[in-house]
Structure 1
Amino acid sequence: MHAAQTFPHVAALKPWFHSGQHTLQIFDTEEVARTVAARLVSELADVLRQKPYAVLTPSVGRTMVGIFDVLRDQHRNSIDWQRVICVQMDEYAHMPSSDPDSFALTLRRDLVEPLGIGRFIHFYDDEGAAIVSPKQYEEDLYKLGGIDCALHGVGRNSHIGFNEPRQRTRLTGGIVRLSQATRIANGVPYRHGVSLGLGVLRAAQSSILVLLGEHKRDASYQLLFGSSGPHVPVTQLRHCPRVSICLDHAAVPDSLSNHDFRATPRLRMEMPAAIA
């Protein structure tokens, strides 16, 4: 373990996640996927009770593997997936949707086809040509009513989608240069990506954020307590009407470890049954 890092000023402030419909939960790692999958299905079911379809925008990566597994294994019949529209959040620039490294291929193989999702909107065709321009892609998403539920992993440098830390805020999506940190973390040579912008992502009716592992501890701190700005893209999601944050114990920043969980009903630490 690293030496404890303390942030004495944090306790005197009322963190943003204490207000509104936001929740923060901490679990044993093996419980996170099951809990997040159940929450996602519950939120989609709520949307489908109110309108004909629900728009889901999931990220792709190691954090999502277990969640997608649980959705396939336990929730194939939990809702009418034919009424769900899956909108791809990000992709490597000009990546053919049939390429093994393609996020679109991962979504189609691990989520869209197994669950029978009714419609899948993605950036590129099998040749790597843009189906529509990034601007039109976002406009089409807004025409659908925007995102009902976004499912986010968060980068070590606090990026969401492929929205990397910047000097100035950029709310619109498009082609972006990937940081070296992102390329190393993903183990890829690609220098550019395409992403939905922070504007449409922070307008999502609900955002579920999942951070796992000690290497995400700083990103967790930035999300929960860091100063908001273009240098920390994930803080833009604080603008969402409802944010659900799910951490495993390894991703909990030291400043939160000292937090009084009893002070706020929405802030809960889930303990194993043998301990609780």
Structure 2
Amino acid sequence: MSTAHHLSMLASLAPWFHVKPHALHVAGTLDVARLAAARLVTELAALLQQKQHVVLTPSVGRTMTPIFEVLRQDYRHTIEWQRVICFQMDEYAGMPSSDPASFAYSLRRDFIEPMGIARFEHFYDGDGACKATPREYEHKLRQLGGIDCALHGVGRNSHIGFNEPRQSVRLSSGVVRLSPATRAANRVDFQYGASLGLRVLREARSSIVVMLGEEKRDACYQLLFGGGGPQVPVSELRSCPQVSIFIDYAAVPCSLSDRDYQATPPARHAAPASLV
């Protein structure tokens, strides 16, 4: 049995996964980028047939780089991108949008401007001044009808946006303290980040989740099979109306067997074992 087929079969055993029109795709890294980009464009095209504008909230980072490249190369003229309104998902607190190290700058350079997106809402001005509090920012998003499509990367510690693992659930948008794990993974010294909250993210009509590399194995396991809770922010996406998961072979959790999901799974998977 192939790795992809085995994982898909096990995912179908997860109670949350088979209830709604969710999907799981396992492929090579470059194919994952192509598949995720194609799904995003398909979702946006369908939404644009129903409404004048759609709201997209994309992640930024190494996971998104090949996806944005595929979009620029293959889909620049496929849909009316000027009808897409882009809301930034997260940013380092106080980071000027004009700084090349900012998420806003990267998003504008790699996606917004090449695709011809006319409206881009972001947390901070070019001088680092707060354009609106995160809650005001969320309110503006909700006035447009909420998120139509969210494009997620996932942190090694299972964070989405800058919603870090916590002792208690924090659902609202706000400025949060970044965990040492996130700061180390991103190679930054910033202590805080502004982020859309879990509540508005999990209400997205369509959520596309991409995980690449062996360092994302645990996050993948936690999304599909973990026990959930505030220590696993990505598990909040299980309540989304539609979740499309794209992972490469390296991100497939090592310890998977049918027996693992007959009962409540552990917080972390066991020592590596063969999947196939």
Task: Please give the TM-score of this superposition, normalised by the length of structure 1.
Answer: 0.88
Structure 1 residues not aligned, in runs of 5+: 1-9, 260-276
Of stretches 88-97 and 16-25 in structure 1, the one that deviates more from structure 2 is 16-25
Q: Does the CA contact (< 8 Å) of 2:162 and 2:195 recur in 1? A: yes
- 2-side partners of 1:12 and 1:115: how far apart? 36
- Partners of 2:133 and 2:174 lie apart in 1 by 8
Per the TM alignment, residue 14 of structure 1 is displaced from its structure 2 partner at its CA by: 3.6
Does the C-alpha gap of structure 1 residues 14 and 126 become closer, same or farther in structure 2, counting only changes over 3 Å?
Answer: closer
Aligned pairs (5 A) from 1:177-196: 177-196=177-196
Tell me the distance in 2 between the aligned counterparts of 1:19 and 1:133. 36
Per the TM alignment, residue 17 of structure 1 is displaced from its structure 2 partner at its CA by 1.4
| Paired residues for 1:69-88 under 5 Å | 69-88=69-88
Show CA shifts across 1:184-236 (max 9, x none).
00011111100000000000000000001111001100111001111100000
For the pair 1:218 / 2:218, whether they are aligned, the reply is: yes
Equivalent AA in structure 2 for residue 48 of structure 1? L
Q: What do residues 236-270 of structure 1 show as CA deviations (whole Å, max 9, x unaligned)?
A: 010100000001011011345x46xxxxxxxxxxx
Aligned to 1:138: 138
Q: Does 1:206 align with 2:206?
A: yes
Q: Distance in 1 between matches of 2:38 and 2:218?
A: 27
- Where does residue 197 of structure 2 map in the other structure? 197
Tell me the equivalent position of 2:43: 43
Which SS does the other structure have where 1:91 is aligned?
Answer: strand
Rate the CA distance shift 1:102–1:12 in 2: closer, same or farther, 3 A: closer
Gap change, CA 1:251 and 1:236, over 3 Å in 2: same
Runs of 4+ in 1 over 3 A off after TM superposition: 10-15
Query: Does 2:189 correspond to 1:173?
Result: no
Distance (Å, rounded) in 2 between the aligned partners of 1:117 and 1:38: 18
In the alignment, which residue of structure 2 is the partner of 1:253?
253
* Counterpart secondary structure, 1:95: coil
In structure 2, distance between residues paired with 1:12 and 1:238: 13
Which digits, 9 at most, give the CA deviation of each residue in 1:155-175, with x for residues without a partner? 000000000000110100111
1:135, distance to aligned residue in structure 2 (A): 1.0
- Following the alignment from structure 1 to structure 2, what is the Cα–Cα distance between the partners of residues 151 and 34? 14
Larger RCO, structure (CA 8 Å, separation 6 or more): 1
1:97 touches 1:105 (CA, 8 Å); kept in 2?
yes
Give the C-alpha shift of residue 133 in structure 1. Answer: 1.2
Contact 1:17 1:24 in 2 (8 A): no
TM-score (norm 2): 0.88
- Aligned-pair identity (%): 65
Q: Could you tell me which residue of structure 1 aligns to residue 152 of structure 2?
A: 152
Q: Could you tell me how far 1:11 is from its partner in structure 2?
A: 9.1
Partner SS for 1:46 = helix
> Which runs of 5 or more structure 2 residues have no equivalent in the other structure?
1-9, 259-276
Between 103-112 and 11-20, the greater mean CA deviation after superposition: 11-20
Task: Report SS of the residue matched to 2:56.
Answer: strand
Residue type at the aligned position of 2:17: F
Task: Determine the structure 2 residue equivalent to 1:274.
Answer: none
Asked if 2 retains the 8 angstrom alpha-carbon contact of 1:213 and 1:251, the reply is yes
Change (3 A) 1:149 1:27: same
| Residue matched to 1:6 | none
SS at match of 2:91: strand
Residue of structure 2 in register with 1:55 after alignment: 55
**Contact conserved, 1:15 with 1:224, CA < 8 A, in 2?**
no
Partner of 1:237: 237
Question: In the TM superposition, what is the alpha-carbon distance from 1:100 to its structure 2 partner?
Answer: 1.3
C-alpha RMSD of matched pairs (Å) = 1.6
